[in-house]
Amino acid sequence: MMVMCTVLASAVIGGIAFKAGRSEMRDAVFTRLTEVRQSQTRALTSQIQDLKNSLIIYTKNTVTQSALEAFTAGFDQLANAQITPAQSQTITDYYKNTFIKQVEQYSGTKLDAGALLPQSNAQRYLQANYTALRRDDDYAVEITDAHDGSQWSAANAIYQKLFREIVTRFEFEDALLIDDRGNVVYSAYKDVDLGTNIINGPYAGSKLHEAYLKAMSSNTVDYVGFTDFEFYQPAEMQPTAWMVAPVLRDGRAAGVLALQFPITKINRLMTFDKQWQQAGLGDTGETVLGGPDELMRSDSRVFLEDPQRYKREVVQAGTPPDVADMAIRQGGTTLVQPMTSAATLNAQRGETGTIITQDYLGQNTLQAYAPLVIKDSDLHWSIVAKVTTEEAFAKETSFTKTMVLITTGIIFVVCLLAIYLAQIFVRPIRRLESGAQRISAGDYNVAIPVDTRDEIGDLTEAFNEMGRSLTVKEDLLIQQRKENDELLRSLMPESLAERFKQGEEIIAVEHQNVTVIFADIIGLDRLQAELPPDASLTLINELIRQIDAAADNLGMETVRTVRNGYLASCGLTVPRLDNVRRTVDFALECQQIVSRFNNDTGNDLSVRAGIDTGTVSSGLLGRPSVVYDMWGSVVNLAHQIKDGSPQPGIYVTSSVHEVLQEVMRFESAGTTVVDGEAQPIWRLSERR
């Protein structure tokens, strides 16, 4: 019997522990991914907002306004500047031998140099004296004066240091000044877009064109435009975004300052600067951005760690080989690698959540997804944090093996112990048989030797005799104590009942993080008036019984039931991290119970509930009659919003709304005045 009971108990307990442990482990992984996703979202939006604020400061600075005016004047003066044949040849050689080769290397397509060569005189002059002389980016941004005696070079000598500081300190690819005609009158890096016209020039098809027009026509104070990434030809086809803000003169836009935003800033943040393990993402976890075109807006972890492995896995997962080759040629997966998992599609629809699905590598992964909203921009990005199921559930596999080994070990040890104890248990049976007989006669201080051969039979008869004399008294005492304990527990929580039994007279406890619900069943007064007392009481008792059962299932703690009102709490005596959700679930269950009651009885009752969360106090009131009660501002506010709401429904405060707004839908229900201040009230409409 000992072995059988132990085996059964071990199996049941082990099964329960395994199921609970596995559920907790999976929830922990999803929670961690969600935290990483939220952290990355906050960091990215904060970074972009900081850069926007900096750009606003630059454009409002009189130095920038003066620079635009000076470069525009210098650019106009170059309309009739002389270009020597040698300078023209230098431009042609630079395009053919340097720029075109770099673009073709990254894009994999052949370009016509003649279609890209500068056409206007000012453009040719600037590119001959600056662009064509570029040896590298460092030289281009450091040069301040070509010593050609032009007005443009004089302006560059004055303002280049300022814009060089902006682009190098904030790691921008370039800074452009564009006048009100669309001419790029200045470039910090003196690239091939210097002197071009963004409206009708060779690069008018870029996203900078649309961003420029929006900035010039914007009537918004502190406007900053932020474009999505694109392959920008002057940047050797590297993924590029733009931050654009108007430069005002006399209250109107005289031009714009455009900062070329590189993908490296996004990648450094999204890849934790390649410190994935230190960030808690293990060996396979990563965070990636996706765009509305279902292409990545950040680089793949596998690509950064091993490009060839990336190519093998994505091609095997269904990505076309030429796409993988392009990613390797570009040096990254941004704007190249498709992201078509269910998580990305859901995020593009504005949804937030977690899912187990295949990723772009063809691996089963846990993914936490959400739309990424950048304030005052037209971006529609999504962010996904993911890790493979193999790594995520590795602890679950180890946990399963451990549970099996422990359960098996316990059963084995108990079997050995049972064999040993069985021999020992037989020896005192004779002494117990004699002792039991004498104890039943009232002699408790005896030591009887073994003097019988039928141990089990005599022991049973002896204990029966003893039981007849002691059991009745013990049962009565136990029953009395049980009734007393049940009466106290029905009046107050068990912890307060124990203190009350020990003689404490003043019992008051403050509780943190407690959610309180005040609910009224509207229509009970009419029901009581229409039915006889016995009939109405029977119906109401059945209704309250169902509500009490729902409260018990959800871990709610009933404080009191008064007339047609119901006061309960969650997290009061048993702390619960999800006490807010449980309380709202309880309110929804009450609505369903009342709805079923109406269908069964033909009545028209409804529920009106007020819910708030925070700190409350509870204790025992009165002497000698003791009443358990709960009080505090949270209780008052829950009661106030319940009474102040004319229509049935579940009304919550801002504290509850903030906790559940991602999982449930609320609608505004007006405000209520608390301590002289208006506080918003929300009405629960449905689950998300």
- What the block records as the tokens of 78 is 């170059």
Choose between 573 and 595: higher pLDDT. 595
pLDDT > 80? residue 420: no
In contact, 590 and 607? CB cutoff 8 Å: yes
Contact 464, 433 (CB under 8 A): no
Within the chain, how many helices (H) and strands (E) appear? 24, 18
Q: What is the tens place of the pLDDT at every residue in 626-654?
A: 667 788 888 888 888 888 787 899 999 99
User: DSSP letter at 564?
Assistant: T
- Reading the block at residue 361, the tokens are 């590598």
Least confident of 243-247, 354-358, 405-409, 463-467: 463-467
375 pLDDT band (50/70/90 cuts)?
confident
The closest of 487, 491, 486 to 621, measured between CA atoms, is 491
Which pLDDT score is estimated for 97? Answer: 79
Q: Could you tell me the pLDDT band of residue 413, with boundaries at 50, 70 and 90? A: confident
3-class secondary-structure state, position 523: coil
Q: What topology does CATH give the domain 499-687? A: Alpha-Beta Plaits (3.30.70)
> Could you tell me if 432 and 446 are in contact, meaning their C-beta atoms sit under 8 angstroms apart?
no
Q: How confident is the model at residue 475 (pLDDT cuts 50, 70, 90)?
A: low
User: What does the block give as tokens for 117?
Assistant: 């060569």
Residue 306, CA atoms < 13 Å, CB-side half-sphere: 7
pLDDT digits (tens, 9 = 90+) for 592-612: 999 999 998 888 899 999 999
The fold adopted by the segment(s) 61-265 is Beta-Lactamase (3.30.450)
CA–CA dist 638, 567 (Å, integer): 10
Question: How much is the mean pLDDT over the chain?
Answer: 82
Mind spelling out the 3-state secondary structure of 255-318? Answer: EEEEEEEEHHHHHHHHCHHHCCCCCCCCCCCEEEEECCCCEECCCCHHHHHCHHHHHHHHHHCC
Q: Answer yes or no: is pLDDT of 491 > 70.
A: no
Collapsed DSSP state (helix, strand, coil) of residue 571: coil
pLDDT at 448: 62
**Both structure tokens of 438:** 């004498």
Give the separation between CA 334 and CA 300, rounded to whole angstroms: 8
How many C-beta neighbours within 10 Å does residue 486 have? 11
Residue appearing with tokens 């299932």: 553
Q: What are the boundaries of each domain within the chain?
A: 61-265, 427-491, 499-687
For residue 196, is pLDDT > 60?
yes
